[in-house]
Amino acid sequence: MKRSRLLLIIPAALIVVVVLVLLLQNHTAASIDRRLTKAGATVKHVTITDRLPFRLEIALQSASEDDSLVPDDRWVLLLAQHEATFAYRWGLRLNSFLLVVVNSKDETIYSTETFLSAEDLNQKSLTSATSPVDDATTADIIRSNLNLAGLSLSSLEVSRENTAEGSRRILQLTLTATSLQDANKSLTPFLGSFFKMLDTINMENDTALVLCRLQILDGQQTVLMDYVKDLESGYTLWSWDPGLSSDWLPQPPFDAQATPWPNIPTAYPADSLEPLEGTPAGSSYP
């Protein structure tokens, strides 16, 4: 009798486990969709493409009318990458996810698949869910660590990540140069202080900063540089005006929009063709 009961219990338990896993997978996909939508992304769909291993496709709508990504796409891609990479915080760890961007004609203009494992995540940079420092103090710390070098600070916004569990923060920063020539004079000292701030602010000040977007504009509000970074994974995307020059950029400068963005975590920003290893030769932080 005991043996027959055990034989009945085992398959019943397996069925419960399978149902729970399926429900968690559905919850993970729905949560990513909901969180991206709340963050301002236009999500076409978040679809489970494989249950075992667990894979998702995340399709995002761009305002682009041709085959080029527009600046805001870069930020939305970073948000999607972040949400999928760290989905295990409130669901299941993904095996991989496919990011797709479509234009206004519903044509695919960007597509990349990312495979995840525990080793892929930079555990040293994972931030705590809470911070004793408030948003205003965090903004003051950021200002005090930047060498604007002649650039004007147009806006500096510190907000909370759209999560229920804590106070991880997002930084959005806009700077203005009167001209491309003035931007070139200021870029190297500014970027040196900016990258150093990103590398050290959480460790030294416990600010729980996780996502960052930097835009540098000229006097006509043309975007000269658009840079986004996930401080937890190290995932970085950026592009710049072909006339922009700096020790931090490869020489001669080129049109970064015409080339694919990197899909690997880097300690420092990677340009669209090859990663920069550490600081540029002959330079140091200001």
Asked, for residue 165, whether it belongs to a domain, the answer is yes
Same-domain check for residues 131 and 247: yes
Same-domain check for residues 51 and 132: no
**27: CATH:** 3.30.300
Element (H, E) at 156: strand 152-160
Q: Which residues of the chain have pLDDT under 70?
A: 1-10, 12, 118-130, 162-167, 250-286
Q: How many domains does the chain have?
A: 2
Asked, for residue 109, whether it belongs to a domain, the answer is yes
The residue with tokens 């990349």 is: 112
Same-domain check for residues 134 and 106: no
Same-domain check for residues 165 and 180: yes
Dihedral angle sign, alpha carbons of residues 244, 248, 141, 134:
positive
> What is the Cα–Cα distance from 82 to 211, expressed in whole angstroms?
9
- Could you say which of 101, 120, 139 is where a domain stops? 120
Same-domain check for residues 216 and 227: yes
Output the pLDDT for position 255.
37
Output the pLDDT for position 7.
53
Output the pLDDT for position 93.
86
Output the pLDDT for position 34.
93
Asked, for residue 225, whether it belongs to a domain, the answer is yes
Same-domain check for residues 116 and 128: no
* 50 bridge partner residues: 55
- Taking every pair of Cα atoms in the chain, the longest distance, rounded to a whole number of angstroms, is 87
Same-domain check for residues 47 and 137: no
Asked, for residue 277, whether it belongs to a domain, the answer is no
Same-domain check for residues 90 and 177: no
DSSP state of 118: G
Task: Tell me which residue range forms the domain holding 33.
Answer: 2-120
